[in-house]
Amino acid sequence: MTIILYYTSVSSSSEMRKKQQRIMDYLDSKKIPYTTVDISQSVEDKEEMRKKAGNPTALPPQLFNGDTYCGDFEMFENAVELETEETFFKL
């Protein structure tokens, strides 16, 4: 399975951009293959992200391993801090 990062390329929130970049930098540094889905380009992608996350108001970044929900940024940061990334990403 491949890690899928749902993100947005259009955001006025510098905090959201930093969170998204933090995840991408982490995945790149660990050489974990991933694909990105930009929800700002498609309403269908945003709806799919929210449905798969089980949260009708979920905001990016959201992480999945295939169709399996891994978590949001806070859950990602917690996994990194606790060194449980493999469990978080379901690798």
Residue 17 in this model has a pLDDT that exceeds 90 = yes
By three-state DSSP, how is residue 64 classified? strand
Query: Is pTM, for the whole model, over 0.85?
Result: yes
Domain 3-88 top-level CATH class: alpha beta
Residue 3 in this model has a pLDDT that exceeds 90 = yes
Quickly tell me which residue has 């996350």 as its tokens. 53
pLDDT of residue 12: 80
> pLDDT tens digits for 40-76?
999 999 999 999 999 999 999 999 999 999 999 999 9
pLDDT of residue 91: 85
> Where along the chain do its domains lie?
3-88
Per-residue tokens: 25: 């930098």
Per-residue tokens: 71: 């978590």
